[in-house]
Amino acid sequence: MATKTISTKTTSCFTFLKEALVLPTRNPKLFAPILILLAAIAFLIPAVNVVFIQSLTAEMLRHLTEMQTNDPSSSAFARLLEEVWQETRELILIVVALTVITRALVFAKQILAFSAASTTYSGDRHSLAELLR
C-alpha cells in the first residue's frame, strides 16, 4: 500500500511538471512577450554593471592610486579626494536606482507570469494587452 502512495505522489509531481512545461505552448501569444520581459530583466543587471558600475569603479581606483603618490596636504590630493567622493555618490545613486528598478521589474514579472499561467491553465487565451486590462 505504501508503494502505491509513493508512486502516486511521484506521478502527480511529474504530471504537474509536464503541465507547467507545456503551458506556454498553449498560448504563445501571451507567453512570448513575458519571456522577452524575462530576458530583458536578466540582461539589465549585467548591462548596467558593464556600462556604468565597472567604468566608475575603475576611475575611482585610478584616483585612489594617484592619491597614494600625492602629499595629503597638497591641492592635488584635495582635488582627487573630491573626485573620489563625487564618483562614490554617483555609484551609490546608480546602485540604489538599479536595485529599486530591478525589484519593481521582478515583482511585475512575477505577477504577469502568475496571471498568464493561471489564465492559460483555466483555458482562457489572452494576449498580454488583454491580460493587462
Predicted local confidence at residue 22, as pLDDT: 78
Q: pLDDT, tens digit, for every residue of 51-79?
A: 999 999 999 999 999 999 989 999 999 99
Per the structure, how many domains does the chain have? 1
Q: Which residues of the chain have pLDDT under 70?
A: 1-10
Q: What per-residue confidence (pLDDT) applies to 52?
A: 93
SS3 133: coil
Please state, in angstroms and rounded to a whole number, the distance separating the CA atoms of residues 51 and 25. 36
Instruction: Flag whether 67 is in a domain.
Output: yes
pTM of this structure: 0.71
pLDDT given for residue 100 in this prediction: 95
Neighbours of 109 (CB within 10 A): 16
d(CA 128, CA 32): 9
Domain coverage including residue 75 = 26-132
Domain presence at residue 90: yes
